[in-house]
Amino acid sequence: MQQIILMAVLATMVYAVSLDLRVEDFRYVARHPLAVGAGLVAQFVLLPAATLGVTLLLDLPAATMAAMMLVAACPGGALSNVVTYFGRGNLALSLSISAVSNVLALVFTPLNFSLMIAANPRTEVWARAIAVDPRDLVVSLVLLLALPMSAALLTSHRAPQLAVRLRKPLGRFAVAALMLFIVGAVAAQWKLFLIELTRTLPIVIGHNALGLALGYGASVLARLSVADRRAVVIEGGMQNSGLALGIIAAQFNSDLAMVAVAGLWGIWHIVSGGSLALLWRYLDRSSRRAARRSGGR
């Protein structure tokens, strides 16, 4: 029952967030393929490949490595759009990368996760022991991503006024319910979670920094503008950890080590993304002040 409730909450969150999507977000791809492509490569190629490399180098529990792989295989989260806007990045680009990545996730999330799991001997043995089936992952993605996103697009197209009224209250409800789920899961196994926290938080911080750095590298190689580069950096480092939590609940019986990774990701990427946005805003103000001083001479 707990798994069903969590999946319903996450589906509601995806529905609420997707009410903001427009057909224009997808058309943007055709006009700016290089910028969108840089963001998608950072999400679906660079981060999964780097995550596999890290897990092969580190001596970690198999469930922790699997959770890192799952988060890396997920598309970008909805908060990336908010952080990009606050950091004065290209919001249209961020929205387009998010829209396309959520569609591509139906194929690339199970594909990347399965490839990473199979390529690491320890996670391969672990997955075989608990009978991980990629087809079940696809079913979870359809229920958690494809159906609510399609329903939201239909609502926005057929009943735009209803979509406007529903978005904020549904989004707030879903976020509050998800936080209650995480708090409840942690409280039920508090002592074990404290052990997981001390060893998992540094891993999450490093993993998230890796995603941000890879987003920056992809944007530099693509020679994007400053605003575009900021959008790609945020998209590269703010994964949909809520989706990962839903999959963990549905497919891995809310394994505590996996919940710790995905849950801490959901908290930390807000801290890291928000800090970057504040830094960018500060740099912009400093640049404007310097320009005014030089212009006044």
Q: What is the mean pLDDT of each run of 10 residues along the chain (297 residues)?
A: 71 77 72 92 96 94 94 86 88 86 89 94 90 78 83 84 83 72 66 74 94 96 94 92 84 84 87 93 88 69
Task: Report d(CA 231, CA 42) in Å as an integer.
Answer: 12
Distance CA 86, CA 1 (A): 38
pLDDT at position 85, please?
A: 85
Residue 10: enclosing H or E segment and its boundaries? helix 2-18
Other C-beta atoms within 10 Å of 126: how many? 17
110: its two tokens = 């199970």
The pLDDT score that the predictor gives to residue 99 is 84
pLDDT recorded at residue 189:
62
Residue 239: strand pairing partners: 76
Report pTM.
Answer: 0.84
Closest CA to 152 of 5, 295, 12, 296: 12
Distance CA 209, CA 215 (A): 10
pLDDT, residue 259, reads 85
